[in-house]
Structure 1
Amino acid sequence: MHEMQTAMLTNLRTTYPKCGVVHIQDILNIQILQDFLKDGVDAVEKYEGVCQQSFLMLLEFLREQVKHETAIQKLLTTASFQTSGNKEMQIMAGLAHHLFSQLIPGKVYEVDKYAEQLQRECSCGCKAKICTGDTSVGSPGTWHGRVDVILNNTIAVAHGNKQNTIDEAEDDDTDIQEAVYDDTDEDEPQTKQRKVETDKSCDNCTEVKATEKRDSVQPDIKVLKQIFAEAITNGFAQVNRDKNALSHFLIPTFGVTSDNVSICLYDPESDYLLLIREQHELWWLDGRLDTVNLTIIWLFLNFTFFTRKKLSDVVELDKSGLHKDLKEHLKFYRKAQTKANYVSKTSVGLPWKLIAYPNCKKHRIASVASDS
């Protein structure tokens, strides 16, 4: 981040700090996909249980794609909502119901039941009931709050506003600098809460590499902060909840807008933090859902079958450094849990928000090369 700050001050806008890169084929369980490419649906029969169901969910979604994309487009284009906040809430619920849940076995999802202005039924007109529940995650000693959506009781989804292109974002250096050094909570979601029980400082910050494409889309800074906070905290909470099933997996967290999806991955035991470098656009120009990016989303929604366990066995990757820098605060994350009924609307900060300083060490966030 110091390198980025120096580059901006000297107007060298393309000089970003380096970070590790992991190719997406190294993360995925390629054998399952190769078998599917070779033999089609027949190849899936040798994989039992939920893996079969995951493929069936994708095929079912593709058969009903027009129905779901029409429903989402109605939510995006309707002018019947009373307020913009109400519209964003209904879009979030619609994406949970018509997109994400349709790609996982059982279609299990929960929208934050405390979300303001949330309707009981999908506002696209399909009359489907919106599933709500306790989406809280964290521990009282550190970041804790409510995520927007929980999928399959495991994967967190953060919903944000429409994102800007990098060219547009570069017009305002102030926003970028605030992302590096801002210690206020004014720009954080109002439905989240954090508490640090000690004032002892510990050094840490975040290192992120921007994409080289000038016309690519970068996450809104607020959404990016939220994704990192939720990815780290939810990762710990999920491993605590089901260590046998989730130990040493890169647990995904999705950041979604009406146009794009970001994917962050965190292994809380090995301390690997990855951010897929490019945004995945949801739509073609003709208004159809992008089936290629939908398939990528599907792969990470079903990560226990389609991604590798213990990435370090096949890829040499530096740890993020979060464990080391949190020091005595790490014990709070090891007690994180889900469904603890955190209902406060106090502002939230990043997991390390109150203990970060400009002259601190760097966290390593590896970018995932999604073009492989």
Structure 2
Amino acid sequence: MRREAVGHTPQRARSASVFVNINMNDPDRLKWPFYVLKLPQFSLSPMKLINCNGGTGFGVKFTQSSVQADYIYDTDRHGEEYGLVFPFTEIFLNGNAILMDYINLGKKPTENPKSLQVLEILLSFITHIEEAAKALQPVEKQSSSEGKDGASESDWLARLAVHFLSPLSLTQEYILDKQSSKMCQECPCRCSCKKVITYGNTSIGHPRTWYGHFDILMGKFGNEKGKVTEVNVGATEVPMETEDKSDTIFEFDEKLSDECPSQIEEEIDQLHSRFSQLISQTIVLSFYQKKYEPSLTLVPSIGVSESHIQFNFYDCERDVYLLSREMSLFYDDDKKGLNLSTVIATWLVLNHKHLISGTSEEMREEKFGFHSKISKEILHLFKHDIEMGWTMFKPYIFQDNILLKRYKVLSKDPDVVDAKYPKT
């Protein structure tokens, strides 16, 4: 029995066994982690949409979105189904070439200043990777009401933006959602860097489509505080959650009798518990990006917890959706060493405008299906009317008081109405 993609994710990328002690001043430091990034546990899967509420014509919050999707399957010569997967770097041929030249030949792309800058960003981060790992660790606080390890969610977002996402991006500017319930004035890291945290308007959508906020936006921002002039990537935090029976998938064995069903509980992976939200955000961001930068193909967004990160990609022109495995941010549960394979993947995504090549022909053989699941009218809204940085936003919703405003009575005479019913 095929299930929704939620709760149906392949195994997370395991990384503790691939930790190696490497010399940070040698190009070989990237060789093994980059090789690991191309293995199945870090792969990409094309997705197929089953149903969603993005085409209702009503405004639906990202947090209330509903998306049912599954992996795209093929059949081997024995008739067994298997999910299609592709190496993570297959959509980053430009980035792959830059790193392979550097790893194998010690060559930097000096003929292309922008590519050289992007490579130097990665090399600089790796040089200080231990400091970055330390800065991401939570600072113990007196209050236990602020979240796991005494650190609030806003603290984690601030540390993540300042010490991980920003230094790995050529465009190092970011804003955090100014509607956050708790805001940090300075970076709450262990290294006491005291960097000022920047907040702004991260809203995106349309009153008749999905809409809401990202927790973090990476891009370029105008003189007006928090005003978006160019967005590169949006990121959403998935909070650490305790076990919730409502977030459990039940699989019933149809071969057994109805009187004695086999009920197998399968807990949803942490990031996958926000499956619908992350997909709806990625789709909306892709349409927005495509409107302002028509040359873009795959547009990524990020789902991230305090232990894992996952990348979503959508090509809104070709209607192709790719989902990565959940990748461990750290090599072990102590969170003392950043996973270098995950660091490289994040670097590729944050700098996708310079490193991405787009989908291969094989990836495009079967469409995601979003275009065909919604009406032409709503698809036109997605293509042309998605905006970012709303100041006044009123979603279109059902209003039962519409009859108090304007209506037409088809028959005013009660006798005419009564005449329609048979007399006793």
Aligned to 1:69: 133
Equivalent residue of 1:105, what SS?
coil
What is the alpha-carbon distance in structure 2 between the residues aligned to residue 318 and residue 64 of structure 1? 42
Aligned to 1:210: none
Classify 1:140/1:344 alpha carbon distance in 2 versus 1 (closer, same or farther; 3 Å): closer
8 Å CA contact 2:202–2:213 kept in 1: the answer is yes
Aligned to 2:281: 230
Equivalent residue of 1:151, what SS?
strand
Equivalent residue of 2:176, what SS?
strand
Deviation at 1:298, TM superposition (A): 0.8
Q: Does 1:35 align with 2:101?
A: yes
What is the alpha-carbon distance in structure 1 between the residues aligned to residue 250 and residue 268 of structure 2? 19
What is the alpha-carbon distance in structure 1 between the residues aligned to residue 282 and residue 196 of structure 2? 28
Q: Does 1:84 align with 2:162?
A: no
Equivalent residue of 2:185, what SS?
coil
Aligned to 1:161: 239
Classify 1:135/1:333 alpha carbon distance in 2 versus 1 (closer, same or farther; 3 Å): same
1:140-195 deviation digits (Å, cap 9, x = unpaired): 2211111111112221101012379xxx89xx5863369xxxxxxxxxxxxxxxxx
What is the alpha-carbon distance in structure 2 between the residues aligned to residue 283 and residue 323 of structure 1? 38
Which residue of 341, 346, 371 maps to 2:391?
341
For 1:324, give the aligned amino acid: S
Q: Does 1:265 align with 2:313?
A: yes
Aligned to 2:205: 138
Equivalent residue of 1:3, what SS?
coil
Higher strand share: 2
The higher-RCO structure (CA 8 Å, 6+ apart) is 1
1:246-266 deviation digits (Å, cap 9, x = unpaired): 2xx211111000000011111
Equivalent residue of 2:330, what SS?
coil
For 2:2, give the aligned amino acid: E
Give the paired residue count. 288
Equivalent residue of 2:301, what SS?
strand
What is the alpha-carbon distance in structure 2 between the residues aligned to residue 163 and residue 37 of structure 1? 40
8 Å CA contact 1:238–1:337 kept in 2: the answer is no
1:249-306 deviation digits (Å, cap 9, x = unpaired): 2111110000000111111111101101x21101122511111211111111111222
What is the alpha-carbon distance in structure 1 between the residues aligned to residue 185 and residue 347 of structure 2? 26
Deviation at 1:218, TM superposition (A): 2.8
Aligned to 1:208: none
For 1:129, give the aligned amino acid: V
Q: Does 1:97 align with 2:162?
A: yes
1:57-78 deviation digits (Å, cap 9, x = unpaired): 1111112222222121134x54
Equivalent residue of 2:180, what SS?
coil
Q: Does 1:122 align with 2:180?
A: no
Q: Does 1:26 align with 2:73?
A: no
8 Å CA contact 1:137–1:342 kept in 2: the answer is no
8 Å CA contact 1:57–1:103 kept in 2: the answer is yes
What is the alpha-carbon distance in structure 1 between the residues aligned to residue 364 and residue 99 of structure 2? 23
Aligned to 1:292: 341
Aligned to 1:195: none
TM-score, normalised to structure 2, is 0.61
Deviation at 1:219, TM superposition (A): 3.7
Q: Looking at CA atoms only, which structure, 1 or 2, has the larger radius of gyration? A: 2
8 Å CA contact 2:320–2:364 kept in 1: the answer is no
Which residue of 99, 102, 110 maps to 1:45?
110
Classify 1:163/1:344 alpha carbon distance in 2 versus 1 (closer, same or farther; 3 Å): farther
Pairing 1:202-351 to 2, within 5 Å after superposition: 218-244=269-295, 246=296, 249-276=297-324, 278-285=325-332, 287-309=336-358, 311-313=359-361, 315-328=363-376, 329-334=378-383, 335-341=385-391
8 Å CA contact 2:207–2:395 kept in 1: the answer is no
8 Å CA contact 1:250–1:266 kept in 2: the answer is yes
8 Å CA contact 2:271–2:326 kept in 1: the answer is no
Classify 1:82/1:25 alpha carbon distance in 2 versus 1 (closer, same or farther; 3 Å): closer
Classify 1:346/1:90 alpha carbon distance in 2 versus 1 (closer, same or farther; 3 Å): farther
Percent identity between the two aligned chains: 24
Aligned to 2:3: 4
What is the alpha-carbon distance in structure 1 between the residues aligned to residue 360 and residue 127 of structure 2? 38
For 2:175, give the aligned amino acid: E
For 1:72, give the aligned amino acid: L
What is the alpha-carbon distance in structure 2 between the residues aligned to residue 94 and residue 342 of structure 1? 30
8 Å CA contact 2:247–2:268 kept in 1: the answer is no
| Aligned-residue CA RMSD (Å) | 3.2
For 1:154, give the aligned amino acid: N
Which residue of 156, 166, 175 maps to 2:248?
175
What is the alpha-carbon distance in structure 1 between the residues aligned to residue 133 and residue 367 of structure 2? 39
Classify 1:61/1:81 alpha carbon distance in 2 versus 1 (closer, same or farther; 3 Å): farther
Aligned to 2:214: 147
